[in-house]
Structures are given as C-alpha cells and as structure tokens.
Amino acid sequence: MSRGTATDLVYLLAIIGFILALKALSSPRHARRGNLLGAAGMVIAVAWTFSEPSVYSHTRNLVLIVVAMVIGTAIGMPAARFVKMTAMPQMVACFNGVGGGAAALVSITEFIALSHKSIALYKVGEVLFGVVVGSVSLSGSAVAFAKLQELMTGRPVTYPGQQAVNAAIAVGIVGLVAAVVATASTPLLAVVLGLSLVLGVVFVLPVGGADTPVLISLLNSFTGLAVAASGFTLNSDLLIVAGTLVGASGMLLTRMMSAAMGRSLPNILFSAFGSVITAGTGPDAEGRTVRSGTPEDIAVLLAYARKVAIVPGYGLAVAQGQHAARELADALSGRGVEVYYAIHPVAGRMPGHMNVLLAEANVPYDQLEEMDQANLEMPTTDVALVVGANDTVNPAANNTPGSPIYGMPIVHADEAHNIVFLKRSMRPGFAGIDNELLYDPKTTMLFGDAKDSLTKLVAAVNAA
C-alpha cells in the first residue's frame, strides 16, 4: 500500500470518528462517548500527520511544531480543566476564536508561500475566504468573550448609522478581495485581514449579551467554513470534510438555538436586542409596589405547600447556589413537598447550561422538567420559586408585542398560586427589560445573593 493510500485511509477513519461524534453528541445517552470518538479521530489524524515527509523532513520545523503543540497544550489543558462551570460559554468562545485565527493564519502563510508563483485564481479565492471568515470568527469571538466575561457591557453597543458602516466595511472587503485576486498583492491582503478583524468586532457589538450564545454558535460554524477553505487550499479532504461538518451542523444548531428563544437569526443579529430598556413597562408603570418578605415568611409558604417549582436562572449560577438549591429541595422533599425544577431551554447563558450546573450539584434528573412539561404542571403548583431568573419568566414575552423578547417561550411562573423571587435587586435581567411579574400581587421578593438567600431558607424550612 502506498503512503498516499495509507494516509487517505487513516484520514477516512478520523472523518468517520468525527461524524459518529456529532451523531452521538445529539443523544444524552451517548454524548460523552461521542466526544471521546471525536478526540480519538483527532489523535490518529494528528499522529499520522507526523509521518508526512513534509512535516518531519526539516528538523528545525519539526522541533518548532512540537514546541508549539506543547505550548498550546500547556495553556489549553489547565484553562479547560479549571474553568468554572459558569464560565463555560466564554471558554467555548475563546477556543472557537483561536481555531478561526489558526485557519486564517494557515491561509495567510499559504498565500505568502504561493505568492512567488503563478497560481490559479480560485486558489487565491480560497485563501481569501479562509482569511476573511477566520478573522471574523477570531475577533468576533474575542468580543463575545469580553461580553460574557463582563469585561465590557453585555448591552448592545449601537451608534447612528451602524448598519451603514457595517455594510460599507463588508463591501470594502469584497472589493479588496477582488483586487487581491487580480494583483496577488501581499500588502493588500494585510488590509483585507485588518478589515476582516474590524468586521468581526462591529458584527458582534450590536448583539445583546443574552443572545451571545447563539452568536458563538454562528461563529463556531464560520470557523468550520474557514477550516474547510484551508482544506481547499491545502487539497486536504480531511480538513474540507471536518470543517464542512462543523460549518453545516453549526448552522443548523444556530437556527435551533434561536428557535428555542423564539426569534429568528436576522432578528438576533441586526435588531440590537435589549436596547429598549423599558419596552416591557405596562400602563401601571408608576406607583407600583413590590412586596418583600423575610426568609421565615417564605419558608412557611414553601414548607406547607404541596408542590413547589424551582425556576433557576443565571443568578443561581453566578452565586454558585446550585448546591444550596438542592439542599432546599431536599429539605422540602423531606417534609413531603413535591419539588421539581422548571428549566427554561436557555436558562443560564447557553442552552443546556442550567442542566449541567444542576447535575454538578447532584440534583436527581427526574426532578428536572423541561419547560413544556413544567408549564403543564404550573397551574397546579403552589409556589414557583424563581432563583436568579428574570427574562425567562417575563410575561411580556407573551403579552407585550412591542417588547424585545415578545414571542420567546417562557416558564409560566405567573400561573403558579404564589411566586417567590430571589433576586439581588430590582435591576432588569440580561435582556435589559422590566418584568411586570415582580409587581404582581402574588409575588414576594427576597432580596440578596441567591446562595445566601437559599441557605437562609433551608435553615428556616428546617425550623418551620
């Protein structure tokens, strides 16, 4: 068997690993195995690549490759191992961004290597596609990271003429790309690179913090496409298939995520979600009163209820209160109260984020209810205990057509007999809009850090 055939076979194995990985990641039962399959595919592909003459024939280059891989592992491994579960979304953004950067660099380096030779026009086109999409993914992910890490405001950043400026940058890139194809000029390529990085930033700035996960998914898909473009440049089926798999599945995943929020993708990308701070304010905006209670009041309410729904949100995650929530649930179950968790699909900061956090606190799976199921039970629920959630229970999504979140499915906490909010303050949620449920006569507020409040409630329930 020739080397070429052997390489093709090994890379085919890796590709099968990737496809099976994506398949298995789509079912809870096999998800972990799927990830391991993907990793196995990666390991055999990378290991085999070391046997390529072009990789090992220059000793200096081979040493550099190994050193670079050691550095990458030394940074990536601890970063991934020790990141807090609440910080997962920005970590994914970060790893996605560096992937996009790597794809862009491969394209640029190939361009420099090729620039002395006469090459087919489509080759230059592939290179440019990789550079533009990879750089947009890199800088866009960096901004998404900054938003989620709260290094900058999570609010949409808008300015007059924003759409026009963005469109002008995009058109400018297209024009320059044509110029580079015609002239194969390296300085012009540098300008394309710079403008693409700027485009990634301005593309992400107007997207609100609550929508950032959808955006990360989109950028993830972009990186896949940039990798596929590099595959065209390098004539590598492996890169084309793996990159395209991610590009296509990422596109679908992005659409499913936006559907889970009841919004369309263009709406998320271009509507500057959340810039209208008070869109949810009803006619009774003024003179509304808020009822707040002591932990003891609320503990009695909970302890003598028949059925309690815990509606967790990002505030619970930030306060690391998932263990305290489980203790409260245990204390209540111990008294014969039926407890379940009503999980909004986008509770936390990413779809599925809350399930991961609660699983970390050993909450039994059978107590977790997805939103649709929970909403069926809500009218017979005595107390809906909303912990650090806001937008995901905001009735404005159902009854205020002007609201930015109108149309988003919500947990119908408003249908429970009583509502208790554990919240740090009256500040609006991530989407930046007011929540009329806070002023509902059925609602009792308990202000404070979610974990502290839950701990106090556990003590009070045990004493009740």
Partner 1 sequence: MIDSVVSATAGPGILGLVTVFVLAAFVGYEVVSKVPSILHTPLMSGSNAIHGIILVGTMLVLGEAHGAAQLTLGFIAVVLATLNVVGGFVVTDRMLEMFKTRPTPGPRGEEAKAGPETTTRAAGPGAGGGTGKS
The residues that are catalytic are: 391
Residue 107 half-sphere exposure toward CB, CA atoms < 13 A? 33
Site for partner 1 in 432-461 (CB under 8 A): 458, 461
CB-neighbour burial class of residue 354 (10 A; exposed 0-12, middle 13-18, buried 19+):
buried
Q: Which of 200, 202, 196, 222 is nearest to 156 (CA)?
A: 202
The residues pairing with 309 across neighbouring beta strands, listed in sequence order, are: 340, 384
In the complex with partner 1, which residue's Cβ is closer, 208 or 250?
250
| Piece of the chain touching partner 1 by CB under 8 A; list 65-73, 152-160, 263-271, 426-434 | 65-73
Give min distance, CB of 427 to partner 1, in A.
26
Exactly one of 213, 274, 295, 313 binds partner 1 (CB under 8 A); that residue is: 213
User: Residues binding partner 1: what is the number (CB under 8 A)?
Assistant: 148
Q: Contact letters (x/-) for partner 1, 44-63, by CB under 8 A?
A: -xx--xx-x-xxxxx--xx-
Exactly one of 240, 279, 411, 437 binds partner 1 (CB under 8 A); that residue is: 240
DSSP tag of 184: -
| Piece of the chain touching partner 1 by CB under 8 A; list 18-26, 153-161, 267-275, 293-301 | 18-26
Cα-Cα-Cα-Cα torsion 146, 151, 154, 156, nearest 10 degrees, comes to -70
Give min distance, CB of 155 to partner 1, in A.
23
Residues 6+ apart with CB under 8 A from 125: 177, 181
Q: Which of 371, 375, 391 is nearest to 436 (CA)?
A: 391
Q: Determine how many CB atoms are found less than 10 A away from the CB of residue 60.
A: 7
Is 183 one of the binding residues for partner 1 (CB under 8 A)?
A: no
Q: How far, in whole angstroms, is CA 293 from its chain's centroid?
A: 35
In the complex with partner 1, which residue's Cβ is closer, 155 or 344?
344
320: left (phi over 0), alpha (psi -120 to 50) or beta: left
Q: Contact letters (x/-) for partner 1, 395-434, by CB under 8 A?
A: ----------------------------------------
Is 258 one of the binding residues for partner 1 (CB under 8 A)?
A: no
Give min distance, CB of 72 to partner 1, in A.
3
Give min distance, CB of 343 to partner 1, in A.
7
Site for partner 1 in 352-381 (CB under 8 A): 352-353, 355-356, 359-360, 364-374
The residues pairing with 423 across neighbouring beta strands, listed in sequence order, are: 447
CA distances from 264 to 33, 252, 291, 462 (A): 32, 12, 36, 46
Q: Determine how many CB atoms are found less than 10 A away from the CB of residue 378.
A: 22
Site for partner 1 in 88-107 (CB under 8 A): 88-89, 91-92, 94-96, 98-99, 101-103, 105-106
Is 65 one of the binding residues for partner 1 (CB under 8 A)?
A: yes
| Piece of the chain touching partner 1 by CB under 8 A; list 115-123, 165-173, 274-282, 442-450 | 115-123
Is 21 one of the binding residues for partner 1 (CB under 8 A)?
A: yes
Is 71 one of the binding residues for partner 1 (CB under 8 A)?
A: yes
Give min distance, CB of 279 to partner 1, in A.
26
Q: For 393-445, where are the alpha helices, taking DSSP H only?
A: 396-399
In the complex with partner 1, which residue's Cβ is closer, 371 or 437?
371
In the complex with partner 1, which residue's Cβ is closer, 329 or 433?
329
Exactly one of 350, 378, 396, 410 binds partner 1 (CB under 8 A); that residue is: 350
Euclidean distance between CA atoms 109 and 104, whole angstroms:
9
Site for partner 1 in 24-43 (CB under 8 A): 25-29, 31-32, 34-36, 38-39, 41-42
Q: Determine how many CB atoms are found less than 10 A away from the CB of residue 82.
A: 8
Euclidean distance between CA atoms 359 and 325, whole angstroms:
12
Give min distance, CB of 378 to partner 1, in A.
13
Site for partner 1 in 217-236 (CB under 8 A): 217, 220, 223-224, 227-228, 230-236
Is 386 one of the binding residues for partner 1 (CB under 8 A)?
A: no
Give min distance, CB of 374 to partner 1, in A.
7
Euclidean distance between CA atoms 312 and 322, whole angstroms:
9
Give min distance, CB of 135 to partner 1, in A.
12
Q: Determine how many CB atoms are found less than 10 A away from the CB of residue 449.
A: 17
State phi, psi for 158 to the nearest 5 degrees. -125, 155
Site for partner 1 in 320-339 (CB under 8 A): 326-327, 329-331, 333-336, 338-339
Q: How far, in whole angstroms, is CA 221 from its chain's centroid?
A: 12
Q: Determine how many CB atoms are found less than 10 A away from the CB of residue 164.
A: 9
Two tokens, residue 85: 């579960």
